[in-house]
Amino acid sequence: QHGHGQDHSGRDAGPERDKPVGGTTHAGLQAWVDEVAALTTPDEVVWVTGSQQEWTRLTDKLVAAGTFTRLDPEKKPNSFHAASDPTDVARVEDRTYICSVDERDAGPTNNWMAPEEMKEIMRGLYAGCMTGRTMYVVPFVMGHLNAEHPMFGVEITDSEYVVVSMRVMARTGVSVLRRIEELDADYVPALHSLGAPLQPGQADVPWPCNETKYIVQFPEQRMIWSYGSGYGGNALLGKKCYALRIASVMARDEGWLAEHMLILKLTSPEQQTYYVAAAFPSACGKTNLAMLAPTIPGWTVETLGDDIAWMRFGEDGRLYAVNPEFGFFGVAPGTNEHTNPNAMRTINLGNSVFTNVALTDDGDVWWEGLENTPAHATSWKGEDWTPDSGELSAHANSRYCTPIEQCPILADEYHDPQGVPISAIFFGGRRRDTVPLVTESRDWVHGTFMGATLSSETTAAATGQVGVVRRDPMAMLPFIGYDAADYFQHWIDLGKDADATKLPRIFYVNWFRRDDDGDFLWPGFGENARVLKWAIERMEGKAAAVETPIGHVPTPEALDTTGLEMTPEQVEAALAVDPEEWKQEIPQIEEWFARFEGNLPTQLQVELDGLKARLGLL
Ligand code: GDP
Ligand code: PGA
Ligand code: MN
Ligand code: MN
């Protein structure tokens, strides 16, 4: 089927995979599972096999419990709607902790508590917390099972919703467990509980969770404890907790990068291929760019990943990226046949879980921005909804969870554990002003400065106020598992040790700039291919740019605007670098850097001084 050193751990290896697993020969793992069961007192312990039959049993159970509604199989086969508790809809950054031994190692951007203090609190919460429920043991691997160093984890959870979602998002089950046993491998223990025990006779609710929530990483121990939430980013522990927070610490120690980045393959009309990684904060366009359908003739995009990239230098000196995930956990609102036709084709194949979208009367899902607005639907809150309701039918952070192999433009290289050599890295955020459509950095350190000072308006992907501009370095603010200043230094060090001619070129983009009426200046989505094209042509030495105080910005002629319904004034406004706006940005950057006190890499201070000088502020 696929070339390359491919991974044969498919989503289902046939009926023999459904044989019950009673336990493990891996002594350490068995001891941990026994210890957790003794603490949390579930009715039953089930080792997850990852089989198709198991999926059917669990989704049937979720339907019976009222958590899932089965969608019309004609429309979305083997797919389900779920509505969460209205208080459990997003990542909870204020409840997320990096419990390093030393407080300094968590840095000024993370919540911290001493590991022993946190464990004491959480052991209290975990005591008896699975009473009346089943405890599932989910062996998983982030990245490929046949990678040189497979990155194992085992999630213990009392949520069937988590088990089925994990099967979509990661390679799970008995083939992974057998490999852990064969290698007597290390794994990241990841403990999750909804915090909703059931006493005898107590009726369950469709979305059990607890008002008290903790999302905790112990970086030195490479361990995760999560409590109280069933929401994806808080509960599917392979994703944010492992593949970003814990992996970023591993990456610091071992000389690689764990980043909040999509990976795409771009092919030019001349059949040249380029691999691009891009970091945008949550709900700022990664999934859409990863699945882009280019509007400019001759260019094609294929997808490798939409949220996480693990990158390390290859023997040839180039930076190689792999996507450690096995599915997409995408923002539903705004997704439609125009903005993201490839996501629509992916979810229409079925085998998906939709959370906090609206349910239509004919057994399909709907959300704001999707075509064919229904005359009536059931909102994510379970209420009657009509187009005149004056309320959102779907939560702004409602999600689809869907298998990656269903993506019609999945690149073959996805199956290669070696990953792909990255030519360009894009940083981007959601800014209504100041930040132009695209800026090219001068070099790696300047690009690191762009990433370190990246700013974006907050979104519904995390609880809290939406639309507030904050610094979100490399789009990793909620995901850096250690001191952000050390993380900046790590970026700089990797660049210093590398062959500069082989380093990816770094760009900074903003699809979200607005005009005076508050409308987006740039049409975005498939049109973003025009920005990719300019970036490639810059690297090939073919495209013109103007040098501005913040970096190189396209001349209006260098950006391919053929067929675009934009006036020259609008194009200029999208590309404009207004020194007055940037002067207002400087105090915010200074305030941000001041948080790191003496730990900020001097190179970043030098970059800031250079920017100030070019703006005439020094
Ligand atoms: P992710 O969370 O970073 O993966 O972001 P998504 O790709 O899911 O997009 C989040 C939201 O931003 C969705 O509502 C999209 O429709 C919207 N969006 C994505 N790309 C663009 C774009 O290029 N322009 C505009 N205006 N909106 C976009
Ligand atoms: P996103 O993923 O980046 O696609 O929004 C979820 C998250 O970051 O919470
Ligand atoms: Mn994300
Ligand atoms: Mn996404």
- SS3 string of 209-226? CCCCCEEEEECCCCEEEE
Determine if residue 117 is labeled as part of a ligand binding site: no
Q: Residue 312 corresponds to which tokens in the numbers above? A: 């390390």
Query: Taking a C-beta distance cutoff of 8 angstroms, is the pair 15, 53 a contact?
Result: yes
Could you tell me the distance, in angstroms and rounded to a whole number, from the CA of residue 289 to the centre of ligand 1? 8
Specify the pairing of strand 151-157 against strand 505-509: unpaired
Query: Taking a C-beta distance cutoff of 8 angstroms, is the pair 247, 265 a contact?
Result: no
Query: Taking a C-beta distance cutoff of 8 angstroms, is the pair 293, 361 a contact?
Result: no
385/427 same-domain check: no
Q: What share of the chain is helix, strand, coil (3-state, %, to 5)?
A: 30, 20, 45
> So what's the pLDDT on residue 15?
75
Per the DSSP assignment, residues forming a β-bridge with 115 are none
- Which ligand 1 atom sits nearest the alpha carbon of residue 262? 4
Alpha-carbon dihedral angle through residues 586, 588, 594, 596, given to the nearest 10 degrees: -110
d(CA 289, CA 177): 34
d(CA 291, CA 586): 34
Determine if residue 336 is labeled as part of a ligand binding site: no
Q: Whose CA is nearest to atom 8 of ligand 2?
A: 282
Choosing from 284, 392, 430, 437 the residue with most ligand 1 atoms within 8 A of its CB, the one to mutate for a pocket test is: 284
In the predicted structure, residue 4 carries a pLDDT above the cut 60: no
Determine if residue 283 is labeled as part of a ligand binding site: yes
What share of the chain in percent tops pLDDT 90? 97
Question: pLDDT band at 3, cuts 50/70/90?
Answer: very low
Q: Is residue 133, in this structure, part of any structural domain at all?
A: yes
Could you tell me the distance, in angstroms and rounded to a whole number, from the CA of residue 257 to the centre of ligand 1? 24
Determine if residue 268 is labeled as part of a ligand binding site: no
Vertex 427, ends 265 and 329: CA angle to 5°?
A: 65
Could you tell me the distance, in angstroms and rounded to a whole number, from the CA of residue 244 to the centre of ligand 3? 9
343/293 same-domain check: no
> How far from the centroid of its chain's Cα atoms is residue 203's Cα?
35
Amino acid at position 339, single letter: T
150/162 same-domain check: yes
Give the residue from 161, 110, 571 showing the smallest Cα distance to 354. Answer: 161
- Which ligand 1 atom sits nearest the alpha carbon of residue 527? 23
d(CA 392, CA 583): 38
Over residues 502-507, mean pLDDT: 98
In the predicted structure, residue 448 carries a pLDDT above the cut 50: yes
Q: Annotate 164-232 with DSSP letters as a single string.
A: HHHHHHSEESHHHHHHHHHHT---EEEEEE-S----TTPPP-SS---SS-EEEEETTTTEEEEES--SH
In the predicted structure, residue 381 carries a pLDDT above the cut 50: yes
Which parts of 25-133 are beta strand (E)? 44-47, 68-70, 80-82, 96-98
Q: Is residue 5, in this structure, part of any structural domain at all?
A: no
Q: Residue 157 corresponds to which tokens in the numbers above? A: 């959870």
Question: pLDDT band at 17, cuts 50/70/90?
Answer: confident
Task: Give the pocket of ligand 1 (CB within 6 Å).
Answer: 280, 282-288, 306, 330-331, 333-334, 339, 511-512, 520, 524-525, 528
> So what's the pLDDT on residue 309?
99
Q: Whose CA is nearest to atom 1 of ligand 2?
A: 282
198: containing domain: 15-69+87-254
Could you tell me the distance, in angstroms and rounded to a whole number, from the CA of residue 288 to the centre of ligand 4? 7
Could you tell me the distance, in angstroms and rounded to a whole number, from the CA of residue 282 to the centre of ligand 2? 4
Over residues 156-162, mean pLDDT: 98
- Which ligand 1 atom sits nearest the alpha carbon of residue 339? 16
- Which ligand 1 atom sits nearest the alpha carbon of residue 331? 8
E strand or H helix at 345, and its extent? helix 341-348
**Of the residues 384, 404, 424, which one is the last residue of a structural domain?**
404
Helix (H) and strand (E) counts for the chain? 15, 30
Residues lying with their CB under 5 A of ligand 4, a single-atom ion: 286-287, 330
Amino acid at position 414, single letter: Y
E strand or H helix at 537, and its extent? helix 529-539
pLDDT digits (tens, 9 = 90+) for 324-359: 999 999 999 999 999 999 999 999 999 999 999 999
Residues near 201 by Cβ (< 8 Å), separated by ≥ 6? none
> So what's the pLDDT on residue 76?
98
52/122 same-domain check: yes
462/502 same-domain check: yes
Over residues 5-20, mean pLDDT: 70
246/267 same-domain check: no
The enclosing domain of 47 has a CATH number of 3.40.449.10
Q: Whose CA is nearest to atom 3 of ligand 2?
A: 282
Q: Whose CA is nearest to atom 2 of ligand 2?
A: 282
Determine if residue 481 is labeled as part of a ligand binding site: no
Task: Give the pocket of ligand 2 (CB within 6 Å).
Answer: 91, 233, 282-283, 286-287, 307, 329, 331, 461
d(CA 96, CA 92): 6
State whether ipTM is beyond 0.95. yes
Could you tell me the distance, in angstroms and rounded to a whole number, from the CA of residue 342 to the centre of ligand 4? 13
Residues assigned a catalytic role: 284
In the predicted structure, residue 10 carries a pLDDT above the cut 80: no
d(CA 115, CA 98): 9
Could you tell me the distance, in angstroms and rounded to a whole number, from the CA of residue 618 to the centre of ligand 4? 40
> So what's the pLDDT on residue 522?
98
508/423 same-domain check: yes
Determine if residue 381 is labeled as part of a ligand binding site: no
Amino acid at position 263, single letter: I
Choosing from 244, 288, 367 the residue with most ligand 1 atoms within 8 A of its CB, the one to mutate for a pocket test is: 288
Could you tell me the distance, in angstroms and rounded to a whole number, from the CA of residue 224 to the centre of ligand 1? 29
In the predicted structure, residue 2 carries a pLDDT above the cut 70: no
> So what's the pLDDT on residue 6?
46
> So what's the pLDDT on residue 9?
54
- Which ligand 2 atom sits nearest the alpha carbon of residue 233? 9
Give the residue from 112, 78, 210 showing the smallest Cα distance to 483. Answer: 112
Give the residue from 186, 189, 185, 179 showing the smallest Cα distance to 138. Answer: 189
Going by the DSSP 8-state scheme, the letter that residue 317 receives in this structure is S
Q: Is residue 233, in this structure, part of any structural domain at all?
A: yes
pTM of the model: 0.98
Query: Taking a C-beta distance cutoff of 8 angstroms, is the pair 508, 554 a contact?
Result: no
Query: Taking a C-beta distance cutoff of 8 angstroms, is the pair 309, 259 a contact?
Result: yes
The enclosing domain of 352 has a CATH number of 2.170.8.10
Determine if residue 275 is labeled as part of a ligand binding site: no
278/236 same-domain check: no
Q: Is residue 8, in this structure, part of any structural domain at all?
A: no
Burial (0-12, 13-18, 19+ Cβ within 10 Å), 369: middle
Specify the number of domains making up the chain: 3
Q: Whose CA is nearest to atom 6 of ligand 2?
A: 282
d(CA 276, CA 383): 42
312/332 same-domain check: no
**Of the residues 212, 232, 254, which one is the last residue of a structural domain?**
254
Vertex 547, ends 544 and 549: CA angle to 5°?
A: 155
Q: Whose CA is nearest to atom 17 of ligand 1?
A: 285
Determine if residue 585 is labeled as part of a ligand binding site: no
Over residues 457-486, mean pLDDT: 97
Q: Whose CA is nearest to atom 13 of ligand 1?
A: 334
Choosing from 168, 291, 329, 340 the residue with most ligand 2 atoms within 8 A of its CB, the one to mutate for a pocket test is: 329
25/36 same-domain check: yes
- Which ligand 2 atom sits nearest the alpha carbon of residue 479? 8
363/221 same-domain check: no
343/469 same-domain check: no
Going by the DSSP 8-state scheme, the letter that residue 108 receives in this structure is T
Q: Residue 51 corresponds to which tokens in the numbers above? A: 């089989």
Residues near 161 by Cβ (< 8 Å), separated by ≥ 6? 62, 67, 68, 82, 230, 235, 353
